[in-house]
A and B are shown apart, each in its own frame.
Chain A
Amino acid sequence: MTDAAPAPDRFSRLRARPEGFEERSKALTARRYARERRFKALGLGAILVAMALLLILLSSVVRQGYGAFWQTYVRVPVTLDAAVLDPKGTGDPEVIGKGNFQKLIYEGLFGLFPEAKARPERRQLTRLVSSGANLILRQKVLDDPSLVGTTRDVWIVASDEVDQFMKGAIARDAPPAARPLKDGAIAAIDRLEADGRIEQRFNTLLFTQGDSREPELAGIWGAVVGSFYLMLVTALLSTPLGVGAALYLEEFAPKSRATDFIEVNINNLAAVPSIVFGLLGLAVFLGLFNMPRSAPIVGGLTLTLMTLPTIVVATRAALRAVPPSIHQAALGIGASKVQTIWHHVLPLALPGILTGVIIGLAQALGETAPLLMIGMVAFVVDAPSTPFDPSTALPVQIYLWADSPERAFTERTSAAIMILLAFLILMNLIAVLLRRRFERRW
């Protein structure tokens, strides 16, 4: 090849470039790269927007709600007058329980402001403390009847207006018509504050009380217990049903039209809006079977049907992840199908199944619409003692409080949301940890 004459450049005509080609192609490439950068920035921007929205959502809830964990109390010297509470000195809780504790609290309050004699002034004073404070005082005295006849300083729950004023939600300089507290009340608060008789303390009532018309006394305990029963019923029913259905479809079902139908059906059920499950619960469980309205048992049944598809899908995935060699080894040494599954496949798939169950339950815990349909929106004060008693649930309580106009209820709604989210985060965390801890690579 070395001695041959150089071949004529056959590509010279192709390589010949028109005038200004280099510049134009460089400009084109630059444009394409610019477009590439724009596109990439757009994608990143979309993710950042989604994150920002999440942040706004969470921060607005926290900002509105953290105040609800504190509650204003007023220290009032209350004379637990035996002549009022227990004139005959019986010590009988039934007699004491009927006493007029409200009057005792008000008298103690008037004692702090001896100059307030006229009725309008006194009415301003009575509005400082919660109109349900007597119930808490009553419980305190019933727990310790020896208090009767003594005078002591008692921390009395302040009314929601005072609470909001102390937290700065009611502006002092707002025009008097626009604020719920009159000038007299504000002056009284200032004096109490100067005397160290008004204080914000951690709000235990929020965690121990049921629902109430008075925001300062409203708590989530009833709703938490209701949600607990809901989850209990749902978990007890949906786990065996869901795992059973998945086991059948994955391990036993013959490939037939009937099996296909069941599969398609489960997939479709996952896409049915939750409110339709509520209609089913209303028509079938309440209408047909005459089950008790507003009870967690009915809610649990409805939520069971709703979580079933989630659990079935997760369980099937977990079962499929168990390698066939395990099956074959067990079958090869003479185990029956049921023994193979019970002794080998199911234990290996268990972490995946549990993860699916927990995620399904977390969905059910946040679900509201079907519960509205079966009447779990009633105003229920006491926590239910069995799954057959009327009750609310945590998300329903949030819905009910969000509808109330008082500023203090908005605050409590946000607090309840934080508690609900805390439960959900906890459940999901457990699911993630389970997956991390027991995940196996075959």
Chain B
Amino acid sequence: MSLVLIVLVLAGIAYYLGHRRSLRIAGGRIADLHSLPGHYAWYAALLAAGPALALIVLWSIVSPLVLRWATIGRLPADAQALSGPRLDFLMQDVARIAQGLPARGDVTPGLAQAGAFYGSLGTASTLLLWLLVLVLAVGGIYLALRWIAPDLRARNHVERVVRYLLLAAAVISILTTAGIVFSVLFESLRFFNRVPVTDFLFGLHWSPQTALRADQVGSSGSFGAIPLFVGTLLISTIAMLVAGPIGLLSAMYLAEYASPGFRNVAKPLMEILAGIPTVVYGFFAALTVAPFLRDAGQAIGLDVASESALAAGGVMGIMIIPFVSSLSDDALTAVPAAMRDASLGLGATRAETIRQVIVPAALPGIIAGFLLAVSRAIGETMIVVMAAGLTANLTVNPLAAVTTVTVQIVTLLVGDQEFDSAKTLAAFALGLMLFVTTLILNVVALYVMRKYREKYD
């Protein structure tokens, strides 16, 4: 960390020196220079800091791997034969010994030796890095000052670097997607090595509890995800039944009837619903709506579970209202005024115009909005974690407790867990399903919007 600061300070010095140097060369006639003095200054600073910072990043990625590999070679033979998490644990102890911290496991003489080796190698590596970085930074300054000349195209060089930096920022989004796909896919494949894909996709029984010892009852656990899919669909359906009509009707009113003044007040108020954190909705569903529904059910003789799908789905619906409403509103207002005027001019009432002219014209946009809202509902986590059930229950009764894909991901991964068990990996398989589903919904929504949108202008 301090090394990065030193490099930045050196870059600042380079900036100053580059600026002075360019002025000296110009001898007062700046017009003789190819670029502005500021460009020469940036040129020097980039030459000083760029290679040095790149080396620091590279080193911090590569050197731990090299260190580990070299230290494993020094471990006693029996320790070298270990694999996976147990070797990781051992290596953590080696690192603790090197730092002078008490080890968590037994310290054998071989281990202590490896710790000492690890420590000295680490110190050597750090020293080497400092040396190389300082040489690179100072060398960069030296070269920059030598190269600065009236005909050096400093502006072009600096702007090319800026361009590449911006490109790198744009590529991060691709890396994120790739990171999601690979991390989720990789762990899912490991899961499917242990549990067949067909069992996962079509199994009717979900109980991921794997026993600690092989001889315990129910040691294998079963990973049939159908109950989760059904539960997710049930809750999303309830949510859409709430959000769909309310959202669409309010969008129609806002787009066609409301005065500008009313619209300016009502629209931001609706947006507040979208800005409330989901954990707040979860709290509302679990502590206000669910007990209310249970008591109301009791009053009319219905048996409502205290974690009923109705409570979670209903509250999720409230959350999605502004989503449906603003997407539908966009679609409705995009319909050209000429169509509206023509219909009204023929004597149709506003309601008839909306139902028979505007909604059909805006249908692709409305459908796309609904699809996006469904994808929101499927991926929503906190409301269901707090208000829906934990045990898988294959039912479509909205008064019963069901569980969802996201709830299971959270319960499988929260708390202490080993990184390798089928239980943990199952969460990634569920995550893969979730990612693929929402991606498909999103792509279909965009496709519908593009393909079926009529061109009126």
Q: Which of B18-26, B195-203, B432-440 contacts A (4 or more CB under 8 A)?
A: B432-440
* Option from A39, A45, A53, A57 in Cβ contact (under 8 Å) with B351: A39
Min distance, Cβ B170 to any Cβ of chain A, angstroms: 4
Cβ-defined contact, B277 with A410, below 8 A? no
Given contact pairs A261-B174, A338-B163, a sample of 20 additional A-B residue pairs in the complex whose CB atoms are under 8 Å apart: A42-B249, A43-B250, A46-B248, A46-B249, A53-B273, A57-B281, A248-B169, A271-B442, A272-B438, A273-B375, A287-B419, A366-B276, A369-B381, A369-B382, A372-B413, A373-B409, A373-B410, A399-B279, A399-B382, A402-B286
Cβ-defined contact, B321 with A50, below 8 A? yes
A240-B273 contact, Cβ under 8 Å, with A47-B253, A280-B183, A283-B187: no
Min distance, Cβ B291 to any Cβ of chain A, angstroms: 11
Min distance, Cβ A175 to any Cβ of chain B, angstroms: 20
Cβ-defined contact, B245 with A46, below 8 A? yes
Give B residues with C-beta under 8 Å from A: 155, 158-159, 162-163, 165-174, 176-177, 179-180, 183-184, 186-187, 245-250, 252-254, 256-257, 266, 269-270, 272-273, 275-284, 286-288, 318, 321-322, 325, 349-352, 354-355, 372, 375, 378-382, 385-386, 406, 409-410, 413-414, 419, 427-428, 431, 434-435, 438-439, 441-443, 446
Give 10 closest A-B pairs by Cβ, nearest first.
A273-B379, A43-B253, A366-B277, A244-B169, A283-B183, A46-B249, A39-B351, A369-B381, A248-B166, A245-B170
Q: Show 6 residue pairs from A and B whose CB-CB distance is below 8 angstroms, ordered by the A residue.
A: A36-B351, A43-B252, A46-B250, A50-B250, A271-B438, A276-B434
Give A residues with C-beta under 8 Å from B: 32-33, 35-36, 38-40, 42-47, 49-51, 53-54, 57, 60-61, 64, 240-245, 247-249, 252-253, 261-262, 265-269, 271-277, 279-280, 282-284, 287-288, 305, 308-309, 312, 336-338, 362, 365-369, 372-373, 375, 377, 395-396, 398-399, 402-403, 410, 413-414, 417, 420-421, 424, 428
A421-B184 contact, Cβ under 8 Å, with A269-B177, A399-B382: no
Q: Which residue of A lies closest to B325 (CB)?
A: A50
Enumerate chain B residues within 8 angstroms of A244, measured Cβ to Cβ.
165-166, 168-170
Question: B-side binding surface: helix, strand, loop or mixed?
Answer: helix
Roughly how many angstroms separate A277 CA and B350 CA in the complex, as a whole number?
45
Min distance, Cβ A322 to any Cβ of chain B, angstroms: 17
Cβ-defined contact, B410 with A33, below 8 A? no
Cβ-defined contact, A280 with B180, below 8 A? yes
Min distance, Cβ B166 to any Cβ of chain A, angstroms: 4
Roughly how many angstroms separate A296 CA and B159 CA in the complex, as a whole number?
35
Question: A-side binding surface: helix, strand, loop or mixed?
Answer: helix
Min distance, Cβ A293 to any Cβ of chain B, angstroms: 10
Min distance, Cβ B238 to any Cβ of chain A, angstroms: 15
Roughly how many angstroms separate A369 CA and B383 CA in the complex, as a whole number?
10
Cβ-defined contact, B382 with A336, below 8 A? no
Cβ-defined contact, A362 with B279, below 8 A? no
